[in-house]
Amino acid sequence: MAILSVSLSILLVAVVLALYTGEAKAWDTKYDEPFEYNCPSGQVLYRLKSIHHNRHEDRKWDFSCRPAPGGANPRRCLASNYANDLDRELNFQCNSDHMITGIYSFHNNAREDRRFRFKCCSDENFSTSDCRYTSYINNFDGYMNFAVPQDKIIVGAYSVHDNHSE
């Protein structure tokens, strides 16, 4: 009888740990830290999640990738220069027929802002068309969770910085 109760206790702990681990996915980045995120080979960025923290005046990010559409294998890649200056608008678009597969950023605590660079890749048998901007996908200090539909890709980014919202 004692063996049975010990086994049930261990099973219960294992189930609780499995349930907890399943819901506690860590973010890909940390507040106030530089980061570099790259999709696995052959994949493109399709989801951006972000949460803002007022004490840090920064965001942490979570990224998701999936296979490139149409069987494309994005392997010819270019890293952009910085797409923004501190306390300025970010307005970036990959070269024609390229898709975003990576992001690099660092945070400046004195200015409470980030600078971003992007990795854009292409495939000789892939072309982009019908490109358009979304509406704003979050508010200042607001939570963001944005994913493009299955047949779309992310080819650029636009963001406004406002010192009064810090």
Question: pLDDT for 19-73, tens place per residue?
Answer: 333 445 689 999 999 999 999 999 999 999 999 999 999 999 999 999 998 888 8
CB atoms within 10 A of CB 164: 5
Tell me the two tokens of residue 96: 């024609």
Domain count, the chain: 1
8 is a domain residue:
no
Identify whether 18 is part of a domain.
Answer: no
What's the whole-model pTM score? 0.80
CB 99 within 8 A of CB 153: yes
Within a domain: residue 1?
A: no
Residue at 79 is within a domain: yes
- Give the pLDDT mean for 131-136: 74
Evaluate whether residue 21 is within a structural domain. no
Position 17 in a domain: no
Q: For residue 14, is it within any domain?
A: no
Task: Please say whether the beta carbons of 68 and 43 come within 8 A.
Answer: yes
The answer to the question of residue 116 being in a domain is yes
Domain limits at 79?
Answer: 28-165
Tell me if residue 17 falls in helix, strand or coil. Answer: helix
pLDDT band with cut points at 50, 70 and 90 for residue 151:
confident
Q: Which of 120, 87, 88 shows the shortest CA–CA distance to 104?
A: 120
Q: How many CB atoms lie within 10 A of CB 80?
A: 19
